[in-house]
Structure 1
Amino acid sequence: MDDDDPFEDVRADSSNAMRRLFDEYGRENRFAFVVGVVASLFARVLDLVPALMLGYAIDSILYDSYPFLGFLPAGLQPAGDVNQLLVASGIIAFAFFGGAGFHWFRNWGFNSFSQHIQHAVRTDTYDKMQRLNMDFFATKQTGEMMSILSNDVNRLERFLNDGMNSAFRLSVMVFAVGCVLFYLNWKLAIITMLPVPIIAWFTYRFVKKIQPEYADVRSSVGKMNSRLENNLGGIQVIKTSNTEDYEGERVEDVSQGYFDANWGAITIRIKFFPALRVIAGIGFVLTFLVGGYWAAVGAPFGLAGTLTIGQFVVFIQLSQQFIWPMAQFGQIINMYQRARASSERIFGLMDEPSRIEEDPNAEELDVTDGEVVYEDVTFGYDDEPIIEDVSFDVDGGDTLALVGPTGAGKSTVLKLLLRMYDPDEGRIEIDGQDIRNVTLPSIRRSIGYVSQDTFLFYGTVEENIRYGSFDASQEEVVEAAKAAEAHEFITNLPDGYETKVGERGVKLSGGQRQRIDIARAILKDPDIMILDEATSDVDTETEMLIQRSLDELTENRTTFSIAHRLSTIKDADQIVVLEDGKIVERGTHEDLLAEDGLYANLWGVQAGEIDELPDEFIERAAERTSQVDVDEDAETTAQDDD
């Protein structure tokens, strides 16, 4: 197993994954399962009837060596060859029609059982995944998770339907055929079953060898999907960088990894199944040779008793239905091992711990004034803090701006307010309520968030604006778009508000996507607004128009704003300056300029006064831009790209 498999540690603890699958998801679908099992039993029994009737017909009608259906009382046996033939034909016809009905119920039962479990597992896994905190998504690749939600869940469905269906069918067949053969001639039946212990040993060896191979295959599929998803998402960068050959080699490498892992499993399979067929064939040859000699000449090897022609024909027919199913058990075990590897990955994802734990007795957040308090807040990864001892108060309706160099921790401060993460130390309160003591949905309903990394879902412009406010009317959507200075460009699109934006909004410019994101937040009408570089992707003129609308939107609303363009936040009620995760300055725009500190220097950079900046500031800026250390890695992990 590769060490970089992100679910390796969790999977190692999932030794009872298949049992857990049946315990957690099989119980509520047991009716369909029972229907499938019972129908499989009757279907297999009826499948034996034509071969038995053929044997009885040969012995009683053609050779007249046994009474027709001799196990019945004499009064119930039909008289005459024609009547016996008609009865035999009727019984065979009933077996075929009845068997067809039971086969339908069998297929319905197992398909219903597997499809319901597949649906429940996929939705539960996705629901668990989307409720994990953001650091999980920073350390797991999208392709790996997509592989679990699609490929692994589908493998479970194939085993629960095809595999279990075949397992019960073959089990019933082997047992029923064995009973019939022992009833007809137990000595010849033992000869027919001589290959069974060898088949069982081969199957055991196969299981031991194939299990780790399939785990490697599942891991390599996830890595290949991750690479393909990553490359397709960055296709524009690949083209503009002229790196098609380089990326082609990287895809070839992960594809080769999948090929090697899959070929290892295939090599074991292609050796195993032909060997089983040879062993099964030996059993059939023994039955044919010994049974044929017995029926034609007499009992061989000192065996006693008789074997009629009809019994020999039944043995020949049923021995194939006995030996070949034994060989097919290898296919079922093959499917089981694949499903087991997939179930371990699925439950590995389900068992992924979350750093955010919601109090089951948490109450709804009640926002009255919108006052926000940060009290000695510290947060980081691997004992390396991203922000330290951050404390500030924001009165309801005020605007607080966070300013600082790239990587200072500005976005992380505000993501803590949304409970994307929980502080390692300290507390955050909204109107006196610790946000860890209120429900997550109520927090996120009360806060609007406009990110610098605008994401649009595949769909129409209107659907993206309405996202999260699904009950909003058409008029409300349009008003929100107007407030975000988006209505005019939307109406100029080919289909207006019904225009498809493409994957991740690729059909729109960065500025257009950002204005739609702002309209989405405006439509939500939250008590608290977070603007994380909300105008970073628009030109100066559009920024002016949006800023005018945002000023109206935030006039009586508690607002947090992050902006590299300091001109957009100079009118904030309070400006907090961060450096290396710590607050180094705070005050109004005029106060901070008067202090002639970091804020004043940043203002000087944007005002073009570079020659007047102190050497110490320039040296520190050079260190920040060139530094690639653990702190920067930790902040990247936190997805703090402010």
Structure 2
Amino acid sequence: MNYFKQILRFAKPYKSYGILNIICNIFYALFGTLSFISLIPMLSVLLGETEPVYIEPKYQGITELKSFLEDYLNYFVTLKTEEHGEIYVLTVMVGLVISMFFIKNIFNYLAMFFITYLRNGVLRDMRDKLYGKITNLPIGYFSEKRKGDVIARISTDVLEIQHSFLSILELIVREPLMIIFTIIVMFGISVKLTVFVFIFIPVSGFLISKIGKSLKKHSDKVQKEQGNFLSIIEETLGGLKVIKGFNAENIFGNKFQESTSRFYKFSNSLLNRQNLASPTSEFLGICVIAILLWYGGRMVFIDKSLEASAFLVYMGLAYNILTPAKAISKASYGVKRGNAAAERVLEILNTASPLQDKPGAVDKKNFDTDILLESISFKYEDEYVLNNFTLHVPKGKSVALVGQSGSGKSTIANLVTRFYDVNQGAIKIDGVDIRDITKNSLRGLMGLVTQDSILFNDTIKNNLLIGDENASEDEIIAALKIANAWEFVKDLPKGIETNIGDSGNKLSGGQKQRLSIARAVLKNPPIMILDEATSALDTESERLVQSALENMMKNRTSIVIAHRLSTIQNSDLIVVMQKGKIVEQGTHEKLIAKNGAYQKLVTMQSFDS
């Protein structure tokens, strides 16, 4: 129930729809009961049970309400039969029955009409909140999660919550009220018969509750497995070239079939338990009806303590309890399923981001003096990637980080952009710790070009507008020219309006990287971070991009993480890293003259090329 309360907070903005739904459900339950009561006068006329009453009865109070209604009905039938005949009276009674059922169904439609806005509104807001949370959580959170599992939570799990938890909102008022109104009328018709019915209800309720106890556990397995095979699909689509190139279709096919087989088994187990609810409750209900027929029949034919018309309506009312009771039992199973889905959704929503802005964080708009990495240490898991690392980057200077793979170069880019927080030490911009600056304004000062060209399934124009959403078409073209990308973009069928496909797969590696650089150019930030930005380029593209980068980095502060040393020879400072520490630093000429670690790297690359 704790999960239900947390989900219910999403319904607050739509409480007016909830109130209107409750009002309509109250009238639905009332007219649902009255529609059965309206059958009594019609059946009385048909069965000839009405006794002639010529004097209009007087209301004597609530205790005599039943006899007053019976006498008034008989008085009405007597009066109208003498005036218009029995067919007229029967027509009036049929019209009354139709009117009651019509009004009942009007309120039923209105109740569903209003709850639709609440349910779909909650669904939308929950997905929006989840998406916002996903984009807000640090990158490290998702290194432990499979993408397919996250997709399952925002799609199928949220939908499950809508179907299970939110369907309870419809049942909370309507079904219990239907049962209460019906029972009141049943007591009004026959106290003895109603008490007899209630002997059997606890027995059936106990049997139904026994079925649903293991549903949450089975539902949880189903939802986890759904996340698993969605992850396999996502990985398959992302790595299709490798799968085909290594003839690994069977390996991945078997992995997927194992997952869907588990899903098949778990789903069968869950649905078979769930499907048992409806026939069980219906069978138990029919057993109660059968016993009623026997016991009530004795009251009509032997004891003569109940009229046939009242007994027929009573039977209808007794069956009328079954439908809401069945709906409530199904809803209880829905809660079990919803609990499992809510647990998975709320796990993400309730995760506190360790990279939240501090209260009173500075909204920094300008970069004035320098970037200082002051005695920083950092680890992703157990071992430190950087250890007591210090680096000073003055404004307007270009600092290049070089070294073997695993030396901690890319980690510097992740820490300066605050994708992760340092474990020890501090990173300062203009003397202010970046943890005291809002993430939005910090990243607003920076342009990022990564080794992997991250592009989206959209047009070239929209991919670049991520850098500056208010940029004009001329500014976009200017950025493309600086990145030496205009030469191929202008030849595309639709120019900057050309869709580049999923992850930009309609373009070559060099073209994708130049678009990534153009996006950073369009943003025009004071600090540029290039994480092996030219490593994916062919020699011709590298030459084009390198000249563009040099133009872009003039009078701009740059941290360049380089794989190809030929691209950073003009940097103001080159820092050579090994195992998270600085082993050498200086200009290209000075480091070559030292004949140390940098010289070895240059020699190795010259030999490789």
TM-score (norm 2): 0.92
> Are the equivalent residues in 2 in contact too, given 1:460–1:501 (CA < 8 A)?
yes
SS in 2 for 1:373: strand
Q: Is residue 249 from structure 1 mapped to residue 254 from structure 2 by the alignment? A: yes
> Are the equivalent residues in 2 in contact too, given 1:159–1:336 (CA < 8 A)?
yes
Q: Which residue is 1:444 aligned to?
A: 443
Give the distance between the partners of 1:104 and 1:113, measured in 2 at CA.
Answer: 15
Letter matched to residue 34 of structure 2: V
Q: Which residue is 1:185 aligned to?
A: 190
> Are the equivalent residues in 2 in contact too, given 1:370–1:558 (CA < 8 A)?
no
Choose which of 209, 212, 226 in structure 2 pairs with 1:204: 209
Q: Which moved more, 1:24-33 or 1:431-440?
A: 24-33
Give the distance between the partners of 1:66 and 1:438, measured in 2 at CA.
Answer: 88
Give the distance between the partners of 1:437 and 1:475, measured in 2 at CA.
Answer: 37
Q: After the TM superposition, which residues 80-91 of structure 1 pair with which residues of structure 2 at under 5 Å, given as runs? A: 80=81, 81-91=86-96
Q: Which residue is 2:452 aligned to?
A: 453
Unmatched 5+ residue regions in structure 1? 1-14, 300-304, 611-642
Give the distance between the partners of 2:166 and 2:379, measured in 1 at CA.
Answer: 46
> Relative to structure 1, is the Cα distance of residues 472 and 47 closer, same or farther in structure 2, using a 3 angstrom cutoff?
same
> Are the equivalent residues in 1 in contact too, given 2:50–2:74 (CA < 8 A)?
no
> Are the equivalent residues in 2 in contact too, given 1:280–1:324 (CA < 8 A)?
no
> Relative to structure 1, is the Cα distance of residues 270 and 154 closer, same or farther in structure 2, using a 3 angstrom cutoff?
closer
Q: Which residue is 2:542 aligned to?
A: 543
> Are the equivalent residues in 1 in contact too, given 2:11–2:122 (CA < 8 A)?
yes
Deviation at 1:109, TM superposition (A): 2.3
Q: Which residue is 1:632 aligned to?
A: none
> Relative to structure 1, is the Cα distance of residues 603 and 553 closer, same or farther in structure 2, using a 3 angstrom cutoff?
same
Letter matched to residue 221 of structure 1: Q
Q: Is residue 141 from structure 1 mapped to residue 146 from structure 2 by the alignment? A: yes
Q: Which residue is 1:50 aligned to?
A: 35
> Are the equivalent residues in 1 in contact too, given 2:466–2:519 (CA < 8 A)?
yes
Q: Which residue is 1:131 aligned to?
A: 136
> Relative to structure 1, is the Cα distance of residues 73 and 278 closer, same or farther in structure 2, using a 3 angstrom cutoff?
closer
Deviation at 1:149, TM superposition (A): 0.4
> Are the equivalent residues in 2 in contact too, given 1:452–1:536 (CA < 8 A)?
yes
> Are the equivalent residues in 2 in contact too, given 1:419–1:440 (CA < 8 A)?
yes
Give per-residue Cα distances to partners, 1:350-388, cap 9 Å, x unaligned: 122322131120111243435111100111133421111
Give the distance between the partners of 1:187 and 1:546, measured in 2 at CA.
Answer: 92
TM-score (norm 1): 0.88
SS in 1 for 2:70: coil
Q: After the TM superposition, which residues 420-439 of structure 1 pair with which residues of structure 2 at under 5 Å, given as runs? A: 420-439=419-438
Q: Is residue 97 from structure 1 mapped to residue 96 from structure 2 by the alignment? A: no
Choose which of 271, 288, 299 in structure 2 pairs with 1:294: 299
Give the distance between the partners of 1:237 and 1:181, measured in 2 at CA.
Answer: 71
> Are the equivalent residues in 2 in contact too, given 1:195–1:282 (CA < 8 A)?
no
Give per-residue Cα distances to partners, 1:93-113, cap 9 Å, x unaligned: 432332233123201222122
SS in 2 for 1:607: helix
Give the distance between the partners of 1:275 and 1:493, measured in 2 at CA.
Answer: 65
SS in 2 for 1:146: helix
Letter matched to residue 265 of structure 1: L
> Relative to structure 1, is the Cα distance of residues 609 and 442 closer, same or farther in structure 2, using a 3 angstrom cutoff?
closer
Q: Is residue 41 from structure 1 mapped to residue 31 from structure 2 by the alignment? A: no
Choose which of 17, 21, 26 in structure 1 pairs with 2:3: 17
Q: Is residue 59 from structure 1 mapped to residue 44 from structure 2 by the alignment? A: yes
Letter matched to residue 2 of structure 2: N
Deviation at 1:241, TM superposition (A): 0.8
> Relative to structure 1, is the Cα distance of residues 423 and 71 closer, same or farther in structure 2, using a 3 angstrom cutoff?
farther
Letter matched to residue 333 of structure 1: S
Letter matched to residue 524 of structure 2: D
> Relative to structure 1, is the Cα distance of residues 157 and 71 closer, same or farther in structure 2, using a 3 angstrom cutoff?
farther
> Relative to structure 1, is the Cα distance of residues 424 and 143 closer, same or farther in structure 2, using a 3 angstrom cutoff?
same
Give the distance between the partners of 2:595 and 2:562, measured in 1 at CA.
Answer: 20
Deviation at 1:184, TM superposition (A): 0.6
> Are the equivalent residues in 1 in contact too, given 2:527–2:557 (CA < 8 A)?
yes
Give the distance between the partners of 1:508 and 1:200, measured in 2 at CA.
Answer: 64
Q: Which residue is 2:329 aligned to?
A: 330
Choose which of 256, 266, 290 in structure 2 pairs with 1:285: 290
> Relative to structure 1, is the Cα distance of residues 242 and 51 closer, same or farther in structure 2, using a 3 angstrom cutoff?
same
Give the distance between the partners of 2:525 and 2:605, measured in 1 at CA.
Answer: 32
Q: Which residue is 2:473 aligned to?
A: 474
> Relative to structure 1, is the Cα distance of residues 469 and 370 closer, same or farther in structure 2, using a 3 angstrom cutoff?
farther
Give the distance between the partners of 2:472 and 2:229, measured in 1 at CA.
Answer: 43
Give per-residue Cα distances to partners, 1:281-312, cap 9 Å, x unaligned: 101111222223432x223xxxxx62111112
Give the distance between the partners of 2:51 and 2:251, measured in 1 at CA.
Answer: 79
Q: Which moved more, 1:561-570 or 1:378-387?
A: 378-387
Give per-residue Cα distances to partners, 1:361-420, cap 9 Å, x unaligned: 011124343511110011113342111111111111000000010111111111111110
Q: Which residue is 1:635 aligned to?
A: none
Q: Which residue is 2:80 aligned to?
A: 79
Give the distance between the partners of 1:257 and 1:39, measured in 2 at CA.
Answer: 44
Q: Which residue is 2:114 aligned to?
A: 109
Give the distance between the partners of 2:229 and 2:13, measured in 1 at CA.
Answer: 35
> Are the equivalent residues in 2 in contact too, given 1:401–1:574 (CA < 8 A)?
yes
> Are the equivalent residues in 2 in contact too, given 1:283–1:323 (CA < 8 A)?
no
Q: Which residue is 1:584 aligned to?
A: 583
Q: How many residues align?
A: 589
Letter matched to residue 3 of structure 2: A
Unmatched 5+ residue regions in structure 2? 54-68
Choose which of 137, 158, 183 in structure 2 pairs with 1:153: 158
> Are the equivalent residues in 2 in contact too, given 1:223–1:254 (CA < 8 A)?
yes
Q: Is residue 233 from structure 1 mapped to residue 218 from structure 2 by the alignment? A: no
> Are the equivalent residues in 2 in contact too, given 1:398–1:556 (CA < 8 A)?
yes
SS in 1 for 2:391: strand
> Are the equivalent residues in 2 in contact too, given 1:370–1:527 (CA < 8 A)?
no
Letter matched to residue 464 of structure 1: N
Give the distance between the partners of 2:26 and 2:108, measured in 1 at CA.
Answer: 10
> Are the equivalent residues in 1 in contact too, given 2:4–2:165 (CA < 8 A)?
no
> Are the equivalent residues in 1 in contact too, given 2:25–2:107 (CA < 8 A)?
yes
> Are the equivalent residues in 1 in contact too, given 2:39–2:97 (CA < 8 A)?
no
Deviation at 1:45, TM superposition (A): 1.8
Give the distance between the partners of 2:251 and 2:522, measured in 1 at CA.
Answer: 44
> Are the equivalent residues in 2 in contact too, given 1:399–1:574 (CA < 8 A)?
yes
Give the distance between the partners of 2:232 and 2:369, measured in 1 at CA.
Answer: 44
Give the distance between the partners of 1:101 and 1:323, measured in 2 at CA.
Answer: 22
Letter matched to residue 554 of structure 1: M
SS in 2 for 1:578: strand
> Are the equivalent residues in 1 in contact too, given 2:45–2:90 (CA < 8 A)?
no
